[in-house]
Amino acid sequence: MDLSRAAAEAADATDPLAGFRARFTGTDDDGPDRLLYLDGNSLGRLPRETPAAVARAVEQEWGQGLVGSWRDWVQQSGRIGDVLAEGVLGARPGEVLVGDTTSVDLYKLLVAAADARPGRDVLVCCADDFPTDRYIVAGVAPARGMTVREVEAHIDTGLELDVLARALDERVAVVVLSQVAYRSGALVDIAEVTRLAREAGALVVWDLSHAAGAVPADLTAAGADLAVGCTYKYLNGGPGSPAFLYVRRELQEQLRQPIWGWFGQRDQFAMGTAYDPADGVDRFAVGTPPVLAMAAVEVGARLSAEAGIERLAAKGRALTELVIALADEWLGGHGVAVASPREPARRGSHVSLAHPQAWQLTQALIDRGVVPDFRTPDRLRLGPAPLYTRFVDVWDAMDRLRTVLGDRSHESYPTERSRVT
Amino acid sequence: MDLSRAAAEAADATDPLAGFRARFTGTDDDGPDRLLYLDGNSLGRLPRETPAAVARAVEQEWGQGLVGSWRDWVQQSGRIGDVLAEGVLGARPGEVLVGDTTSVDLYKLLVAAADARPGRDVLVCCADDFPTDRYIVAGVAPARGMTVREVEAHIDTGLELDVLARALDERVAVVVLSQVAYRSGALVDIAEVTRLAREAGALVVWDLSHAAGAVPADLTAAGADLAVGCTYKYLNGGPGSPAFLYVRRELQEQLRQPIWGWFGQRDQFAMGTAYDPADGVDRFAVGTPPVLAMAAVEVGARLSAEAGIERLAAKGRALTELVIALADEWLGGHGVAVASPREPARRGSHVSLAHPQAWQLTQALIDRGVVPDFRTPDRLRLGPAPLYTRFVDVWDAMDRLRTVLGDRSHESYPTERSRVT
């Protein structure tokens, strides 16, 4: 592998997604001191179309259209859901809905799934999964007299299927699992896990937060039953943007989620006496979705769909491959170890590097115009988002990291964590 | 009462809140054909400051600040909550949090309250309450082996306290009730209901959706324990804007809500293994709040706080008094009956008029530049929002309604409901 900057420039020159970069703000500056944003796996960049789309929702739809705009707004959750279904998730129309937070959506689907497996009293989750996933499971289990069975995953390489398989038996009702692990970026095979769970009679609720827009989920092909995910990372929907949920069409009528709100009601504005859940995926809605935030989600979702998830994933593999190769070449001597799967098909679009002073390195990089993030206990996480990150951006960011490690300037930073990422 | 238009003009001339009207968009046109928006009880108007505040959140905070803006964003839910607590709800700092939807917030507090009353197996709600309140209760009860006891309320005049008192006994865990009834506008006394419930050993979860920003809740003075409410009506936070929840300070550490998300976790970014709920009202948070929508809520909340809830309520009483007086004077002969409490202290800031052809009247009014809304079965609901509705607006709207009834033009409209409000 040619690790020269010229090779990175050459990769950008033939990148089929190169044109998408200009559709995000903050990408004009091409100078040597420009900001190198490698935290799109935490909060994606702002698409250039978004300010106008949000302003239109605020000024025309709300300001002028007032309540009359509900004619369109009631379509929003399903319309954006269909964009994600077709363009990003490999699902069918009418299977995805946008609204609520990832945590609330996970709670709804987890309870619905547990209800659909009466007599089973175990919920399985991964000991190294993202906190909110583990916390939601930890809260649901005791409230239902169930117990949690945590499966161990390797902090760098993720969950092994045989470890999961050993945890599955006739007591397991539901498995909650992330497709891409938030720290290491390790990717699990949705089809294989779904098959294992189904053999054991359990349902899986997938968390696609660190995967959606970066790697294909191929939910229909994989036979996946249930999933949730966030839209503010690779889908560039904005800070705290509403999440999505997916329910396989054939399961929708069998499931009932626990929060019976009026947006899940059949013929909602008849305001009937008894709760009667709507047909299809709409029954998984609860309250009034935040329309202004949804306008931003729609722009982001359409951008990823336009780029195509296979092209995004291919570029993500190439970008992270470059991170790993440069880390091996330049940083091994400085105590940096790659803490993500080395096999491209086993990871998402971010890479973690382990270093005892990862927190200080994060601060030093931020002061040098590189935005990564820190993850406990000692990880520097780099997320080159395929829509707007170039190969030269990765090269330059790694070069700045090499410089920091070389001059040891990170050692002057305090050790305590005080920054919110 | 002088029912001339000149008297309405005179009332506007001495209105201490008159200056707030110009701070909303769509209020420039003063011509005889101007839009008369009497649906602020469904979706409040757009404050003029909001587009810039939202644009700042989109372009500066997200577009330029990127993840670094989380330093401020993590304060948003509590900061806006404190504005509402002090300026609108009569609560103390640290008792109100903004985020999620009203339905999800109601679910969280209802389950937390039911958990705090072990051994009790009845949830009380009002048969005529807003659908989502009834549906949430209907969903929670069977999941916990509880039953629902519905108390009847008069469709026009609301819930009588003695009716509620008879429904309260040692089996009742929680009462869910709206301060202002969504259809009639009937207002119940929070302090009295709280006292009755407490005597019976039950907790009350208040829904302040149709009250917040229109009438005082005085939560601290009333001794209220728990409340939720929406911000898109009188608080002008925008379509589907995030809701608020209130938990009395002394109860916070005793309660635990069921959706254990990472935003409710102590030291959230340490991403600890076990869920350990944060101190104070933060433990009632779940997932990442929709930051862009929250920016609009903040503007709306500050406007109502600046106006002062007592002044807003006084003007609301006077505006609805004018609606009732004009309905009596002009419309009684056309089969229109006032379907809201006549005593000013017993209603919020909207009035319902009953008419067999209320649906057609609603459509005819919309075509004549008056926006009310229709509520089943036969109600025309008029919500003059005290922040931006003038007495002459009410007079002119009622005058147009008189004209429609006089020329019977509403009879040419179809009878089926097809419009979303």
Q: How confident is the model at residue B279 (pLDDT cuts 50, 70, 90)?
A: very high
How much is the pLDDT for B268?
A: 86
CA distance A247 to A167: 24
In a domain, B419, yes or no: no
CA-based nearest residue in chain B for residue A129: B273
Single residue among A258, A277, A307 that ends a domain in this structure: A307
**DSSP state for residue A20 in the 8-state scheme:** G
In a domain, A327, yes or no: yes
Chain B environment of A420 (Cβ under 8 Å):
70-71, 74, 269
Picking from B264, B294, B421, the nearest residue to A269 by CB comes out as B421
Q: Is A232 assigned to a binding site?
A: yes
Residue A213 pairs with which residues in a beta bridge? Answer: none
Asked if residue A147 has pLDDT above 90, the reply is yes
Q: Is A384 assigned to a binding site?
A: no
How much is the pLDDT for A417?
A: 59
Single residue among A307, A337, A367 that ends a domain in this structure: A307
In a domain, A189, yes or no: yes
Picking from A50, A63, A67, the nearest residue to B58 by CB comes out as A50
In a domain, A334, yes or no: yes
Picking from A39, A138, A261, the nearest residue to B132 by CB comes out as A261
Asked if residue B416 has pLDDT above 70, the reply is no
CATH number of the domain residue A40 falls in: 3.90.1150.10
Q: How confident is the model at residue B273 (pLDDT cuts 50, 70, 90)?
A: confident
Tell whether A54 is within 8 A of chain B (Cβ).
yes
Contacts with A, B 244-273, CB within 8 Å = 258-265, 268-273
In a domain, A32, yes or no: yes
Q: How confident is the model at residue B419 (pLDDT cuts 50, 70, 90)?
A: very low
CA-based nearest residue in chain B for residue A44: B66
Instruction: Give the rounded percent of residues in chain B with a pLDDT score beyond 90.
Output: 96
Name residues whose C-beta falls within 8 Å of residue B245's C-beta, 6 or more positions apart in sequence. Answer: B96, B97, B100, B105, B108, B109, B226, B227, B228, B281, B284
Residues B303, B315: one domain? no
Q: Using the beta-carbon criterion (under 8 Å), do A238 and B64 form an inter-chain contact?
A: no
How much is the pLDDT for B418?
A: 52
Helix (H, G, I), strand (E, B) or coil at A371: strand
Q: Using the beta-carbon criterion (under 8 Å), do B143 and A258 form an inter-chain contact?
A: yes
Catalytic site positions of B: 130, 207, 232-233, 381
Q: How confident is the model at residue B409 (pLDDT cuts 50, 70, 90)?
A: very high
Chain A environment of B294 (Cβ under 8 Å):
240
**DSSP state for residue A101 in the 8-state scheme:** -
CA distance A68 to A314: 44
Q: Using the beta-carbon criterion (under 8 Å), do A291 and B265 form an inter-chain contact?
A: no
- Which H/E stretch holds residue A342? none
Among A131, A93, A118, A74, CA closest to A287: A74
CA-based nearest residue in chain B for residue A55: B51
Q: CA B218, B252, A134: angle at the middle one, nearest 5?
A: 135
Contacts with B, A 226-245, CB within 8 Å = 230, 232, 238-243
Express each pLDDT in B302-344 by its tens digit: 999 999 999 999 999 999 999 999 999 999 999 999 999 999 9
Q: How confident is the model at residue A420 (pLDDT cuts 50, 70, 90)?
A: very low
Q: Using the beta-carbon criterion (under 8 Å), do A135 and B46 form an inter-chain contact?
A: no
Tell whether A50 is within 8 A of chain B (Cβ).
yes
Q: What is the mean pLDDT of residues A20-42?
A: 96
C-alpha atoms less than 13 angstroms from C-alpha of B314 in its C-beta half-sphere: 9
Q: Is A273 assigned to a binding site?
A: no
Residues A122, A254: one domain? yes
Q: Is B102 assigned to a binding site?
A: yes
CA A110 to chain centre: 18
Q: Do residues B56 and B295 touch, judged by C-beta distance below 8 A? A: yes
CA distances from B338 to B313, B328, B344, B382, B411 (A): 20, 8, 13, 11, 21
Single residue among B288, B307, B326 that ends a domain in this structure: B307
In a domain, A223, yes or no: yes
Q: A217-226 in b/e burial notation, b at 16+ Cβ within 10 A? A: bbbbebebbb
Active site residue A388: no
How much is the pLDDT for A418?
A: 52
Tell whether A64 is within 8 A of chain B (Cβ).
yes
Q: Do residues A50 and A299 touch, judged by C-beta distance below 8 A? A: yes
As a whole number, the mean pLDDT across chain A is: 96
CA distance A222 to A212: 15
Tell me the shortest Cα–Cα distance from B407 to chain A, in angstroms: 26
Query: A–B: how many Cβ contacts below 8 A?
Result: 274
Residues A301, A339: one domain? no
CA distance A146 to A245: 24
Mutate to test the interface with A, among B288, B374, B388 (most CBs of A within 10 A): B288
Beta strands in A145-270 (DSSP E): 147-151, 172-178, 203-207, 226-229, 244-247
Mutate to test the interface with A, among B71, B257, B269 (most CBs of A within 10 A): B269
Express each pLDDT in B133-176 by its tens digit: 999 999 999 999 999 999 999 999 999 999 999 999 999 999 99
Asked if residue A419 has pLDDT above 60, the reply is no
Express each pLDDT in A5-26 by its tens digit: 999 999 999 999 999 999 999 9
Asked if residue A399 has pLDDT above 90, the reply is yes
* Domain count for chain A: 2
CA distance B319 to A344: 67
Residue B203's domain comprises 51-307
Residues A42, A98: one domain? no
CA distance B259 to B262: 10
Express each pLDDT in B76-128 by its tens digit: 999 999 999 999 999 999 999 999 999 999 999 999 999 999 999 999 999 99
In a domain, B420, yes or no: no
Q: How confident is the model at residue B420 (pLDDT cuts 50, 70, 90)?
A: very low
CA-based nearest residue in chain B for residue A183: B271
How much is the pLDDT for A421?
A: 43
CA distances from A257 to A74, A117, A359, B418 (A): 20, 13, 41, 28
Active site residue A130: yes
Tell me the shortest Cα–Cα distance from A335 to chain B, in angstroms: 24
In a domain, B418, yes or no: no
Q: Is B103 assigned to a binding site?
A: yes
Residues B40, B159: one domain? no
Residues A217, A356: one domain? no
Q: What is the mean pLDDT of residues B233-243?
A: 98
Contacts with B, A 278-317, CB within 8 Å = 286-294, 296
**DSSP state for residue A42 in the 8-state scheme:** T
CA distance A384 to A367: 19
Express each pLDDT in A316-359 by its tens digit: 999 999 999 999 999 999 999 999 999 999 999 999 999 999 99
CATH number of the domain residue A295 falls in: 3.40.640.10
Residues B217, B265: one domain? yes
Name residues whose C-beta falls within 8 Å of residue B105's C-beta, 6 or more positions apart in sequence. Answer: B99, B228, B243, B244, B245, B284
Residues B104, B224: one domain? yes
How much is the pLDDT for A357?
A: 96
Residues B130, B249: one domain? yes
Q: What is the mean pLDDT of residues B346-361?
A: 97
Contacts with B, A 69-88, CB within 8 Å = 69-71, 73-74
Q: Using the beta-carbon criterion (under 8 Å), do A135 and B51 form an inter-chain contact?
A: no
How much is the pLDDT for A416?
A: 67
Residues B388, B274: one domain? no
Tell whether B134 is within 8 A of chain A (Cβ).
yes
Residues A350, A299: one domain? no
ipTM of the complex model: 0.97
Q: Is A288 assigned to a binding site?
A: yes
Sheet of strand A373-375: strand arrangement: A337-338, A351-354, A379-382, A373-375
Active site residue A233: yes
Query: In terms of DSSP bridges, do strands A172-178 and A122-126 run parallel, antiparallel, or are they unpaired?
Result: parallel
Contacts with A, B 333-372, CB within 8 Å = 371
Sheet of strand A147-151: strand arrangement: A96-98, A244-247, A226-229, A203-207, A172-178, A122-126, A147-151
Tell whether A420 is within 8 A of chain B (Cβ).
yes
Instruction: Give the rounded percent of residues in chain A with a pLDDT score beyond 90.
Output: 96
As a whole number, the mean pLDDT across chain B is: 96
Residues B139, B259: one domain? yes
Q: Is B25 assigned to a binding site?
A: no
